[in-house]
Amino acid sequence: MTDANDPIDVARRFIDALNVADEAGVRAVYHPSARIWHNFDDKVQTVDENIETMKFVHGKLKNLNYDVTRRIAFPDGFVQQHILRGTLASGDPFALHACAICQVENGRITELEEYLDTAQARALFA
């Protein structure tokens, strides 16, 4: 049995939805006013903007999969290391290592901070 308020369960539901570009599933995990921040531009995205990013990435990669390498819960959230993997249109493999720190309230992500190396992301924009 899962606990919808457990940060690890929230993390699992979130990644499961991201892996298949399940917009409704992603929205169900995010609090409607969630703030999504990335280290590379120091800007905050809304849920809608983040959904558009998800669609963009899915449009660029085949066989997209978030390979979770480490996940640690704390009382009001979780930290997760993952590798976004997929296949580029050229047929080349793609891998982007990232770390996300998420705040969770009542079973929903209220804040997500993601750290990644933009050099690894360049292939998505080629």
pLDDT tens digits, 47-61: 999 999 999 999 999
Number of folded domains in the chain? 1
| 1 in any annotated domain | no
Q: Which long-range contacts (CB under 8 A, 24 or more apart) does 118-122 make?
A: 118/40, 120/95, 120/96, 121/40, 121/96
Task: Give the pLDDT of residue 3.
Answer: 75
Q: Is the pLDDT of residue 1 over 60?
A: no
Q: What is the mean pLDDT of residues 109-123?
A: 95
User: Residue 88 — φ and ψ, nearest 5°?
Assistant: -75, 165
Q: What is the pLDDT of residue 5?
A: 84
Domain contains 2: no
- Chain segment 77-92, per-residue pLDDT in tens: 999 999 999 999 999 9
pTM recorded for the entire structure: 0.93
**CATH number of 15's domain:** 3.10.450.50
Please indicate, yes or no, if residue 45 is contained in any of the structural domains: yes
Domain region containing 108: 7-125
